[in-house]
Amino acid sequence: MYHNRRAFINLMGSLVPGVFLKAPVNGLLSGQDPLLSVEGITVYLVNVDKPRNFSHSTWNNRQHLFFQVQVGQHKGWSEVLANKNDPGFDFVKWAEYLKALKGMPVMKAIDYCREQVLTGEWDHRKAEPALMALYDIMGKAVNKPTIEIWGLSGRNPVPAAFCILENEVDQALAQAAIAREQGLTHFVKLKLFGIPDTDQSLVTALRKYFGHETFLMADANRGYKNWKDLDELSLHMHALRKAGLNAIEDPADLSKEQWIELQKKIGDLALIPDYPMRPAFISIDQFDPAMGTYFNIHPDTMGTFREVIALGKKIREDQRGLMIGDSSFIGPACTCWQQLAIGLGASWVEAIEKPQESDIFQQCVQRSTTAINKKGLVEIKVLNPGFGLVMDEEKLRSKADRFAKLV
């Protein structure tokens, strides 16, 4: 941890090129006007019962929190995957850290949240939803889309990626059928488990199901562990490529040098570093384009949006593909990360709504800036102020498992 907090935060500001926020926004929102200060925070708990299988564990259920932050007439929304396998967990206690924002002007609250994560007081999962809601309010308060304030110029639709997290072929194929039904077959991602026979069977079955038009990628969550050298690991990668895989994310726990060497050894199987990119304010100085073909910006692990944007731009400037990942989101966080994907010109975005797992969010949305079109692309419908989300709060209170007003 840095002992001189202010010096560290100033240093981080100097590392990000360009002006992150236009001066008029800073000037308008930095005053002490109580109408532009945080006055209320409500948290909603939504339990999701769809199991998710990983090489490291299984989530039989997971607990999402939707945050609504009130500043005058403006409401900012965000989401965090707060817990797994514990539907009765104390969500109010988990969210208590947000009480510190009470009474803060919006820009001061943003600076406070950044300081907490940059100095190690908060982890990334706590900082991101707080900042997301505040940046939503920031845009709404000045009647500007947040990605426009951030200086992101991309507006072209971005492919939505469907994710399959099953360790049995028949269950994976059942999820593949949902992907096809939803028109999400351009980019499909599956979880791998570091077990060669299982992994190759999954890839073979899904490639046969989708055909050759689908970009089929996988995430092993560093699951390949029993290899003595990169030559042995590359044999597993070649077998997956032969089975029909196009790209693999985090195949094993690798050093930067090993990432670079492995990409050389496995030909046209694209590597996607994820874990080495966490958090953005550290990885921005460690990023090397030779480590892979695509690079994952993974929500809930980045910490700060200013550095996320700088990192995304750096990846694109170095002629590498940018992936906006997911944290199993089902609600308000999706449109934020989708707009970032569009603004940065990402190759695809994985953070998409999942009505087959929980449709509570869709039942309560009154307005959203983004939507998935019939071609399976995430597009901006109308670029609304902030992140553009408007919710039916009365309906959300009735649909959520529990809710509480923090302040």
Q: Quote the longest CA-to-CA distance of the chain.
A: 63
Over pLDDT 90: what percentage of the chain?
91
Distances (CA, A) of 320 to 151, 311, 377: 20, 12, 20
Summarised one tens digit per residue, pLDDT across range 309-359 is: 999 999 999 999 999 999 999 999 999 999 999 999 999 999 999 999 999
Instruction: Please give the class, per CATH, of domain 5-143+400-405.
Output: alpha beta
Ramachandran bin of 343, using left for φ above 0, alpha for ψ from -120 to 50, beta for the remaining angles: alpha
87: Cβ contacts below 8 Å, ≥ 6 apart:
47, 61, 63, 401
331: Cβ contacts below 8 Å, ≥ 6 apart:
46, 64, 66, 79, 353, 360, 361
Summarised one tens digit per residue, pLDDT across range 261-308 is: 999 999 999 999 999 999 999 999 999 999 999 999 999 999 999 999
Summarised one tens digit per residue, pLDDT across range 219-256 is: 999 999 999 999 999 999 999 999 999 999 999 999 99
**What pLDDT score was predicted for residue 310?**
98
**What pLDDT score was predicted for residue 35?**
55
Residue 36's pLDDT band (boundaries 50, 70, 90)? Answer: confident
How many angstroms separate the CA atoms of 136 and 303, rounded? Answer: 16
Give start-end residues of each CATH 3.20.20.120 domain in the chain: 158-393
Mean pLDDT of 146-156: 98
pLDDT over threshold 60, residue 115:
yes
**What pLDDT score was predicted for residue 6?**
46
How many angstroms separate the CA atoms of 94 and 91, rounded? Answer: 5
Give start-end residues of each CATH 3.30.390.10 domain in the chain: 5-143+400-405
The strands making up 402-405's β-sheet, listed across from edge to edge, are 74-84, 62-71, 40-48, 402-405
Summarised one tens digit per residue, pLDDT across range 357-374 is: 999 999 999 999 999 999
319: Cβ contacts below 8 Å, ≥ 6 apart:
289
- Residue labelled with tokens 């009365």: 394
Length of the chain: 407
**What pLDDT score was predicted for residue 34?**
52
Amino acid at 247: A
Amino acid at 68: Q
Mean pLDDT over the full length of the chain:
93
CATH superfamily of 158-393: Enolase-like C-terminal domain (3.20.20.120)
pLDDT over threshold 90, residue 26:
no
**What pLDDT score was predicted for residue 29?**
58
* pTM score: 0.94
**What pLDDT score was predicted for residue 232?**
98
How many angstroms separate the CA atoms of 355 and 360, rounded? Answer: 8
How many angstroms separate the CA atoms of 152 and 20, rounded? Answer: 10
Angle at 326 between CA 386 and CA 358, to 5 degrees: 85
**What pLDDT score was predicted for residue 300?**
97
pLDDT over threshold 70, residue 151:
yes
